Amino acid sequence: MINEQVKSPIASKNIEAMYPLSPMQQGMMFHSLYAPDSDVYVEQITLKLKGDVNVCAFKSAWQKVVDRYSILRTSFVWENRPTPLQIVFKEVDLPWTNLDWQSLSSAKQEQQLSELLQTQREEGFQFKVAPLMGCTLIHLSEDTYQFVWTHHHILMDGWCMSIIFKEVLSFYEAELHGEACHLPTPTPYRNFITWLTDQDQAASMEFWRENLQGFNAPTPLVVDRALPPSQQLESKYQGLELRLSKDVSRKLQALAQQQHVTLSTLVQASWGLLLSRYSGESDVLFGVSVSGRPASLSGVENMVGLFINTLPLRLQIKPEQQFIPWLEQIQQLMLELQQYSYTPLVEIQSQSEVPGGMPLFESGVGFLNYPIDSSLADKSSSFELSDIEIREQANYPLVVNAFPGDELVVKISYDATRFAEETIERMLGHLQTIFSAIADNPQQAVSELPLLTPTKRQQLLFDWNDTQTDYPEDKCIHQLFEEQVARTPDATAVVFEEQQLTYQQLNQKANQLAHYLQTLGVEPEVLVGICVERSPEMVIAILGVLKAGGAYVPLDPNYPQERLAFIVEDSQIPILITQEKIAENLPTSWIQTLLLEELWPTLLYSYPQHNPDHKVTANHLAYVIYTSGSTGKPKGVAIEHRSLCNLAYAQRRLFDVGSTSRVLQFASISFDASVSEIFMAVTSGATLVLGSAIELMPGDNLKRIINRAAVTHVTLPPSVLSVLPKDGFPLLEQIIVAGEPCPIELTHQWSINHRFLNAYGPTESTV
């Protein structure tokens, strides 16, 4: 452990003061104790020193700063106490480590440094042992050192870093020149603790209650890959950054000055807009970091301690509102929030309607304008400082931090178990587009601020949607099947249990049925009901109706009688093809009913096997499917042959279906996915695999038929896919989901080793 180098004095004579923790300190302590293996609040600053470094003087300078500030000599106790206390010691020794890596190569030094930083983060700190910080100075070459300063966030916030570095350099230079360094006596952190006790807590609670009224769920990030509780992984944070051009950065700074708002407000507005676009919500909420340094507290600017707080910023995004007035509203809202910035986030959340156990927000925005780089650069020193990096990590899945300068830098720190790197890259690209649009023309409505560059917009809306292609607009779907029969007559068209039909056999049986149906008056626009169990005869019946010139109306035999009766009566079908055991449940008294048991093998054997003549055209109906009726009564959706031919051609190209493909027929005949499955196969030379109700039961049964029948293409509802075993499908190539919205986690689970497509859409667009 870092603190094992020193034994903090515990004798009462070495205790300078004891007082409560600030609310933010309490929160950090609670989280660290609750998740002892987490390094979320362990902060590290690394930099390089180049020149003639006096190691003893540099170490002494750091010790003198520790001696000056009470918070750096503080430990924290909580056991057997109603409330935690921080104990300030009069004297503590700063843990210091000197390492010599001069004999190592540059690559090895980088590796060693990475391992050292990781080790220090994992070791963390013991709250009872002061100080909760340590320094490591590494000799890299004759005149180059790597410096690592590690501390727990409970001690201080980012603004304190520049104060400490300035004083370290002042003490260092004074000691080198044998001079005394006289600095003003610092204001102790306990003054802030005292100030907190004087604040009006009741007024704060009332403010936050009103501010959060009506907000009852965290704004969804949408693009994350949230895992179910059983698969939650330990958070692993990574970071990506965006560097805006000097021109855009200058324009944004000028806009902020002209409108009397802060650059931070511009960043908050941009993130709020992006969050609204991603979530589809006009009322969004995210965390914002505030300095928490009250102007009414004397000497607060130069105090060292933890003042920062995270507050919920709730924004209403009205598309018609002009950007500048909206920006001014956000600025005013931030001023109101900061009046109550002393309130702990846990107490703020208690005033909201968000259920306990849920976070108030899952993303945060910070504006880090503490000038460490500039403060060090301005100081005349005997050595050069460079490569300053700050590693800090908030306890949220995603944090956006902005760093002002000639080039505004936006860095996103994200939990890699929740977000893919390409998702964050795309998010930064959208932010860049928003910033550029604001810089170029702030006088526009909020809705006019784009997420996409003109080039990307052209690509998404036009180039990628330029999907027009030639397809046989003058043909019927059964003609495409007949062409396939001519190409591959002996290929297997349908398999079911121990049965199988070649393309030629399937065509001949369908032709016999078609000739017979024509004798019954089936012609274009005549509807024929089909209510049969899944079987080769079901496919024959569909093709037979189409070849006769009619349109089929599918009826699932498992539907309730009332629903079947409604469809029969509403469609006014004159003919129904069914089975004897099903017919008794159907209102068939006024319908000509054809039983499969009577059609084969006796009735149809004498009818021709060649393709029948017909008058049907591409403009005539192919089928009528009834919707689920979720919005009222079921309605029949009528689809023409032209649309179905278009679908068949599109599927052949998009789903890569060919003669070696084996397509599972899973969907109910009354569900439009069955249309997709059947014609995807029989118009492309593939094999259509049928299964019994037991074989198609979700879970292990379904897995067995997929593997036994060597299925390459499946179309499944997400609810069925979610209970299918997730591995052991060596031949499965394409997974198509339809019928229900698809959760993002299913995409992540099943897109590995498979081509995964979401075909969810309205049946009015064919399928």
Q: Helix 536-548 and helix 503-519: axis angle, to 10°? A: 50
Cβ proximity of 454 and 437 under 8 Å: no
Question: What are the pLDDT digits (tens) for 620-679?
Answer: 999 999 987 666 678 999 999 999 999 998 888 889 999 999 999 999 999 999 999 999
CA distance 145 to 378: 20
Q: What is the DSSP letter of 103?
A: T
Note whether 450 and 434 are within 8 A (CB): yes
What is the pLDDT at residue 13? 86
Higher per-residue confidence, 293 vs 382 = 293
Task: Determine the Cα–Cα distance for residues 546 and 616; give it in Å rounded to an integer.
Answer: 9
pLDDT higher than threshold 50 for residue 4: no
Q: What is the pLDDT of residues 70-106, one digit of tens each?
A: 999 999 999 888 889 999 999 999 999 999 999 999 9
- What are the tens digits of pLDDT across the range 591-610? 899 999 899 778 898 999 99
pLDDT tens for 540-597 read 999 999 999 999 999 999 998 888 989 999 999 999 999 998 988 787 777 899 999 8
Q: What is the mean pLDDT of residues 336-363?
A: 91
| Section 392-419 average pLDDT | 89
Token pair for 368 = 């880090």
pLDDT band at residue 487 under the 50/70/90 scheme? very high
Q: Which of 16-20, 355-359, 360-364, 625-629 has the lowest mean pLDDT?
A: 625-629
φ and ψ of 687, to 5 deg: -100, 130
pLDDT on residue 461: 80
Average pLDDT over residues 179-194: 94
Residues 6 or more apart whose CB falls under 8 angstroms from that of 189 comprise 69, 70, 71, 74, 303, 304, 305, 306
Backbone angles phi, psi at 217, to 5 degrees: -155, 145
pTM of the model: 0.66
Residue with tokens 């031949």: 731
Rounded CA-CA distance 175/428 in Å is 46
3-state secondary structure at position 98: strand
- What's the length of the chain? 767
Q: Could you give the C-alpha distances from 469 to 1, 101, 355, 653, in angstroms and in order?
A: 67, 65, 52, 11
| Confidence grade of residue 427 (pLDDT, cut at 50, 70, 90) | very high
Mean pLDDT, to the nearest integer, of 10-14?
Answer: 70
Q: Are 491 and 507 in contact (CB under 8 A)?
A: no
Amino acid at 523: E
Q: Which residue from 672, 712, 708 is spatially nearest to 688, judged by alpha carbons?
A: 712
Token couple for 763:
């049946």
DSSP string, 114-173: HHHHHHHHHH---TTSS-SEEEEEEEEETTEEEEEEEEETTS--THHHHHHHHHHHHHHH
At 538, which helix (H) or strand (E)?
A: helix 536-548
CA distance 673 to 685: 19
Residues 6 or more apart whose Cβ sits within 8 Å of residue 580: 595, 597
DSSP 8-class letter at 460: I
Q: What count of other Cβ atoms lies within 10 Å of the Cβ of residue 147?
A: 18
Edge-to-edge, what's the strand order for the sheet holding 133-141? 96-100, 133-141, 144-152, 42-51, 383-391
Supply the pLDDT for residue 36. Answer: 80
Q: Band the pLDDT of 34: cuts 50, 70, 90.
A: confident
Contact 536, 494 (CB under 8 A): yes
Residue 140: is its pLDDT beyond 80? yes
Q: How far apart are CA 272 and CA 242, in angstroms?
A: 17
CA distance 555 to 542: 12
Asked if pLDDT for residue 466 goes beyond 80, the answer is no
- pLDDT per residue as tens digits for the range 115-129: 999 999 999 999 999
- Asked if residues 430 and 240 have their Cβ atoms less than 8 Å apart, the reply is no
Mean pLDDT value across residues 524-550: 96
pLDDT category of residue 717 using cuts at 50, 70 and 90: very high
Unique residue bearing structure tokens 């610092």? 186
Cα–Cα distance between 739 and 760 in angstroms, integer?
Answer: 6
% of the chain beyond a pLDDT of 70: 94
Looking at residues 452-478, what average pLDDT do you find? 81
Residue 374 confidence (pLDDT)? 53
Give the pLDDT mean for 137-166.
Answer: 94
Q: Are strands 527-531 and 575-578 parallel, antiparallel or unpaired?
A: parallel
pLDDT in tens, 246-262: 999 999 999 999 999 99
What's the pLDDT tens digit per position in 48-73? 999 999 999 999 999 999 999 999 99
pLDDT of residue 234: 65
Q: How far apart are CA 734 and CA 45, in angstroms?
A: 49
Angle between helices 477-487 and 641-654 (to 10 degrees): 50
Q: What is the pLDDT at residue 6?
A: 38
Structure tokens at 242: 């965006």
Cis peptide preceding 23, ω within 30 of 0: no
Q: Which residue has the higher pLDDT, 7 or 85?
A: 85
User: Tell me: the pLDDT tens digits for 187-227?
Assistant: 999 999 999 999 999 999 999 999 999 999 999 888 876 55
* Structure tokens given for 142: 């004759």
Query: From residue 407, how far is each of 163, 260, 449 by CA, in Å?
Result: 24, 20, 21
Q: What are phi and psi of 401, to 5 degrees?
A: -115, 130
Place of tokens 């190539």: 733
Here the tokens at position 332 are: 């005013």
Q: Return the C-alpha torsion angle 452, 454, 460, 466, nearest 10.
A: 170
Tell me what percent of the residues of the chain surpass a pLDDT of 90: 71
Residue 501 reports pLDDT greater than 90 = yes
Per-residue confidence (pLDDT) for residue 230, from 0 to 100: 45
Interatomic CA distance for residues 541 and 548, integer angstroms = 10
Q: Is 732 within 8 Å of 663 (Cβ atoms)? A: no
Peptide bond into 131 cis (omega under 30): yes
**Would you place residue 766 in the very low, low, confident or very high pLDDT band (cuts 50, 70, 90)?**
confident
User: Which H or E element spans position 715?
Assistant: strand 713-716
CA dist., res. 743 & res. 753, Å (int): 18
Q: Tell which phi-psi region holds residue 759, choosing left (phi > 0), alpha (psi between -120 and 50) or beta.
A: alpha
